[in-house]
């Protein structure tokens, strides 16, 4: 199996969740072994997608370098991960990735418009050899050996519209589009008001977020899935795990995980050399053949 990029450049204009200002985003192909690279065109700064470039995980995953940063990257990265794209340049003229509708389905559509291009070098993956876990006051995130790609998440809230939800997701691109990609981010009205008082969340609305008050869900159209909340947590986790730079063959398990715990998990994994192996995925790699989308693949370059 070969590394991938997109077949042509595509672009869109959207609004950033926290600053509420328009953001122009362009996706451009890159050659093999380039990785995912963000470029702040207004600053003239490239920020490679690397764990060491993560500068904040408080409310979203934020990367930065040389005085420039890019926030709320996890939804876009989740879709990039789902389509098996290894090399891509993401050009932004502001500090946030557009929030779109609060899910990743819009980014999936953009990637399908661009098409997928196979490159000249072999794709690599991280195989989990032993359990790696980060725990914090009863919350945890863990990677464990598995011959499949599994994301298994549980959340627990006191709010009557959420309560305890669990979802076990066996990854493939098609499953992702059907089960995960449409799940939106969510927030509580009191928190939204607090954020706006701090000058954040200015781009949030019922069009890009599930909003809850004390009684229930305020969005008139309700939920897209009955357990949309936990499915969105899986969407986020996939985006955060993409900072490892290659897909994981193994299981991701979490109870009440967060961007912060995910970041610590990726760091701990790479610091524990016995816990993983990096393998090349030849054309006979059955798990990858049935996992990543193989439509719209152009000729190799």
* DSSP letters for 206-224: TTT-EEE-SSSB--TT--S
Q: Tokens 């950033």 — which residue? A: 16
Number of H helices, E strands in the chain: 7, 20
Q: Which among 243, 245, 284 is positioned nearest to 260, based on CA atoms?
A: 243
> SS3 of 268, please?
helix
Q: How far is it, in rounded angstroms, from Cα 289 to Cα 300?
A: 16
Please tell me the pTM assigned to this model. 0.94
Instruction: Determine the pLDDT at residue 19.
Output: 74
Pairing of strands 45-48, 36-40: antiparallel
What is the chain's Cα-based Rg?
18
| Inter-residue contact 92 to 118 (CB < 8 Å) | no
Query: What is the pLDDT at residue 269?
Result: 98
The DSSP element (H or E) to which 58 belongs, if any, is: none
Q: Determine the Cα–Cα distance for residues 101 and 87; give it in Å rounded to an integer.
A: 25
State the pairing for strand pair 22-29/36-40.
unpaired
- What's residue 301's pLDDT? 40
Distance, in Å, from the CA atom of 236 to the CA atom of 59, rounded to the nearest integer, reads: 11
Closest among 186, 198, 192, 193 to 159, alpha carbons compared: 186
Cβ-in-10-Å burial (0-12, 13-18, 19+) of 67 comes to exposed
Spatial separation of the C-alpha atoms in residues 128 and 140, rounded to whole Å: 17
Q: Where are the alpha helices (DSSP H) in 64-115?
A: 74-82, 105-114
The residues facing 169 across adjacent strands are: 151
Catalytic center residues = 259
Q: What tens-digit pLDDT sequence spans the chain (301 residues)?
A: 999 999 999 999 999 887 778 999 999 999 999 999 999 999 999 999 999 999 999 889 999 999 999 999 999 999 999 999 999 999 999 999 999 999 999 999 999 999 999 999 999 999 999 999 999 999 999 999 999 999 999 999 999 999 999 999 999 999 999 999 999 999 898 887 777 777 666 778 899 999 999 989 999 999 999 999 999 999 999 999 999 999 999 999 999 999 999 999 999 999 999 999 999 997 545 666 668 766 444 444 4
Q: CA-to-CA distance for 98 and 18, rounded, in angstroms?
A: 10
Q: Residue 246's Cα: distance from chain center in Å?
A: 13
3-state secondary structure of 269: helix
């Amino acid at each position: 199996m070969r590394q991938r990029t997109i077949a042509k450049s595509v672009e869109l204009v959207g609004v950033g969740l926290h600053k509420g200002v328009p953001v122009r985003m362009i996706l451009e192909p890159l050659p093999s072994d380039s990785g995912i690279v963000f470029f702040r065109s207004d600053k003239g700064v490239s920020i490679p997608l690397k764990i060491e470039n993560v500068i904040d995980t408080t409310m979203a995953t934020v990367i930065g370098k040389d005085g420039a940063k890019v926030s709320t990257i996890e939804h876009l990265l989740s879709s990039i991960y789902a389509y098996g794209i290894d090399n891509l340049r993401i050009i932004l003229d502001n500090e946030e990735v557009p929030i779109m509708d609060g899910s990743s389905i819009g980014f999936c559509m953009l990637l399908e418009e661009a098409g997928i291009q196979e490159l000249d070098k072999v794709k690599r993956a991280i195989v989990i050899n032993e359990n790696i876990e980060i725990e914090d006051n009863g919350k945890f995130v863990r990677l464990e050996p598995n011959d499949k790609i599994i994301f298994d998440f549980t959340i627990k809230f006191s709010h009557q519209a959420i309560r305890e939800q669990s979802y076990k997701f066996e990854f493939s691109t098609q499953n992702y589009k059907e089960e995960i990609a449409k799940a939106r981010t969510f927030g509580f009205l009191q928190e939204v008001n607090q954020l706006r008082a701090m000058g954040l969340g200015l781009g949030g609305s019922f069009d890009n977020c599930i909003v809850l008050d004390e009684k229930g869900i305020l969005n008139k159209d309700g939920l897209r899935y009955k357990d949309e909340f936990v499915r969105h947590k899986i969407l986020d986790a996939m985006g955060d795990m993409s900072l490892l730079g290659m897909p994981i063959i193994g299981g991701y398990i979490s109870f009440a995980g967060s961007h912060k715990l995910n970041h610590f998990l990726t760091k701990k994994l790479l610091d524990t050399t016995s816990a993983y192996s990096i393998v090349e995925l030849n054309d006979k790699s059955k798990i990858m053949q049935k996992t990543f989308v193989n439509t719209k693949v152009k000729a190799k370059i």
